[in-house]
Amino acid sequence: GAVVSQHPSWVICKSGTSVKIECRSLDFQATTMFWYRQFPKQSLMLMATSNEGSKATYEQGVEKDKFLINHASLTLSTLTVTSAHPEDSSFYICSARSQLAGATQYFGPGTRLLVL
Partner 1 sequence: AQSVTQPDIHITVSEGASLELRCNYSYGATPYLFWYVQSPGQGLQLLLKYFSGDTLVQGIKGFEAEFKRSQSSFNLRKPSVHWSDAAEYFCAVVGTSYGKLTFGQGTILTVHP
The footprint of partner 1 (CB under 8 A) covers 2, 4, 6, 32, 34, 42-44, 46, 49, 91, 93, 95, 102-110, 112
* Burial class of residue 102, CB neighbours in 10 A (0-12, 13-18, 19+): exposed
Nearest approach, Cβ of residue 90 and partner 1 (Å): 13
Taking the least distance from each CB to partner 1, the nearer of 13 and 107 is 107
Helices then strands, counting H and E runs in the chain, come out as 0, 11
Dihedral pair phi/psi, residue 24, rounded to 5°: -125, 135
Nearest approach, Cβ of residue 98 and partner 1 (Å): 11
Taking the least distance from each CB to partner 1, the nearer of 81 and 93 is 93
How far apart, in whole angstroms, are the C-alpha atoms of residue 50 and residue 69?
Answer: 7
Nearest approach, Cβ of residue 85 and partner 1 (Å): 23
Nearest approach, Cβ of residue 66 and partner 1 (Å): 21
Taking the least distance from each CB to partner 1, the nearer of 70 and 105 is 105
Taking the least distance from each CB to partner 1, the nearer of 18 and 55 is 55
Mode of pairing for the β-strands spanning 76-81 and 57-58? unpaired
Percent composition of the chain: helix, strand, coil (DSSP 3-state, to 5): 5, 50, 45
